Structures are given as structure tokens and as C-alpha cells.
Structure 1
């Protein structure tokens, strides 16, 4: 039987609190890129253009768009 608070493998995923060193964008740059793509009408879940968004900004794409007043027509991709 497992101990309380542990899973079957008895390990936890590593949590990184900083951006990768190879990523040269800041969170403000990423938000501006999201605004530009939303105004063009591209889907907010486009994997090649909006990678590392939630990790860098601390918010989901849908929340970033709502804070700017640009809610999308379709729900966010899962």
C-alpha cells in the first residue's frame, strides 16, 4: 500500500521557476504577439506560434485576451 501523499512511483515532477536560457522572449513580448495574432483572427491554440505562453506569462491565453478586451469567438483548445 502507498504512503499518504505519494503516488505509485513515489516521486514528484520537477518544477522549474525560471524561463529556459535558450528562450529570448519576455512575457511582455509574448503578450503583444498574442494580441497581434488575435486581431488577425488566428486560433489561440496554434502550437507553433504560441508555445510556452502559460509558462512565461503565468496566465492562459484566454485570460490574457479577456484582460485586453479581445475575447475569442471559440473556446480555448484543450
Structure 2
């Protein structure tokens, strides 16, 4: 593979995941302007999931930040003893 064929690959801007419905989530990705024009303009990605669970990063980040806060609270309690 030479560098020209590498630069003309199909590259996509990732979309957002849909809600989990009927055990499947979907995401529509749009072709980046720098990609080969012969690529599909939009690709649809499907992923299996469990209803009621979300892949939303903001919710995940909130849990992560909450856990960090609890860690520092516990640490400060130990140091004050």
C-alpha cells in the first residue's frame, strides 16, 4: 500500500448512537470531505444492546466524576483522623 491509497481511504465523522430499541442501536456516520469521493456518503453502524442500558458518554462521564469525588472525600476523612 502506498501513501496515496492510504490518504484516499474512506474516513467518517461518527454520529450519535440511537436509544437501544428491540435489542439494537444504530449510528449514522458521514463521510469526511478529505475522503475518497467514491466512498458511501453515509454509513450506518448497528450494534446489539440490552434495552434500558445507554451508551451515552455523558452519563458515563458523570458516574466517573462522581466516583472521583467520593474517592477524594474518603481520602480527606482518612487524613483528618
Q: TM-score range by the shorter chain?
A: under 0.3
With normalisation by structure 2, the TM-score equals 0.25
Query: Could you say which structure has the larger radius of gyration?
Result: 2
**Structure 1 length-normalised TM:** 0.26
